[in-house]
Amino acid sequence: MARKQFDLIVFDWDGTLMDSTATIVKSIQAAARDLGLPIPSREAASHVIGLGLAEAMQAVLGPDVDPKYYPRMVERYRYHYLTKDHELTLFDGVPEMLEALTQQGYFLAVATGKSRVGLNRALNAAKLLTTFAATRCADETFSKPHPAMLQELTRELGQDLKRTVMIGDTTHDLLMAQNAGSAGIAVEYGAHPVDQLYACQPIFSAKNVPELHAWLDAHA
């Protein structure tokens, strides 16, 4: 068997492992509606997925909105998201892929724009609490695309950034990988348009989870 090129595989959560993009978009739009603010388009709301919550709300509201609304947007967003998060499911094929990668001896980790409380709830609901060797959330360190999450995960697990791959559905994920000196793989079924993902020059771009799993099997 050929020697692996990666030891650590880091996954984004929302839009990569969990089918949550539409729910996040609707929750952002509902939060703006609650506050009587201009309601962001689906594209605008999708674009900020993957950022930390405070950064995401600031980015989606834009510079013309009074900053006093940022924390209120966060609060309303959380309210709407938490009424729906129990309905969310992993993409088809994700549990099998994670199980197979674990059996093959990879270290698995998560780097997400979610809060620690939010990720733990999601991991628990998905029965994945023991699957990942380490996880990093946006409220614990710098938000993507800053390389800190990948730097901290590799340090914690004693891994090399050059033998680490970041898998995500947004340019924030792929730019974080570039900034950290790691490889990046795009998935095309999440929040960001495919042409934007391609512009970040990922080493592979998967149309669905089975395609991602097959590539990792053959090339990782």
Tell me the C-alpha distance between 20 and 87, whole Å.
9
Q: Does the active-site annotation cover 14?
A: yes
Among residues 7, 12, 85, 169, the one annotated as catalytic is 12
State both tokens at 112. Answer: 């997400």
Among residues 14, 85, 169, 173, the one annotated as catalytic is 14
CA angle (60 as vertex; 89, 12 as ends), nearest 5: 35
Which strands sit side by side in the sheet containing 183-187, from one edge to the other? Answer: 134-137, 107-112, 8-11, 164-168, 183-187, 204-206
3-state secondary structure of 107: strand
Which segments within the chain are labelled E, that is strand?
Answer: 8-11, 107-112, 134-137, 164-168, 183-187, 204-206
Q: Does the active-site annotation cover 139?
A: no
Which letter does DSSP use for residue 116 in this model? Answer: H
Tell me the C-alpha distance between 164 and 177, whole Å.
9
**Residues identified as active-site:** 12, 14
